[in-house]
Amino acid sequence: MPDLPADASGATGDEGGPATPGPEKSAGRDPAKPESEAERRRRRAQFLRDLAEARELRARVQPRRAKAARLRHAMRMRTFRW
C-alpha cells in the first residue's frame, strides 16, 4: 500500500487492499526508535477511516439499534453544559 500524505483525512481510492497492516509490516518497525509524526498521522487517519466504515456497516446491518444510538447521542449533546 503506498504511503498516504500527512494530511490524509478523507477516503482514498484504494479500498481493494487489506484494511489493516499485517504483522509483517508492524514487525519491521524498531520499537526503540520513535515513529515520525507523519507515520503517526498516517496510521491515525487509516484507523479513523476504518472506524467510520465499521460504524456505517453497523448502521446498515442494525438500523433500529443505530437509530437508538443516534437518539441517545443527540440527547447527551442536548443535555451537555458548556
For residue 42, give the 3-state DSSP assignment: helix
12 versus 73: which is more confidently predicted? 73
At what angle are helices 63-79 and 37-61 packed, to 10 degrees? 120
Give the C-alpha separation, 71 to 52, whole Å.
18
Question: What is the DSSP secondary structure assignment for residue 5, as one 8-state letter?
Answer: P
- pLDDT at residue 72 is higher than 70: yes
The answer to whether the CB of 1 falls within 8 A of the CB of 39 is no
The stretch 51-78 carries a mean pLDDT of 90
Give the C-alpha separation, 1 to 46, whole Å.
12
pLDDT tens digits, one per residue of 9-63: 444 444 444 555 555 555 556 667 788 999 999 999 999 999 999 989 988 898 8
- pLDDT at residue 3 is higher than 80: no
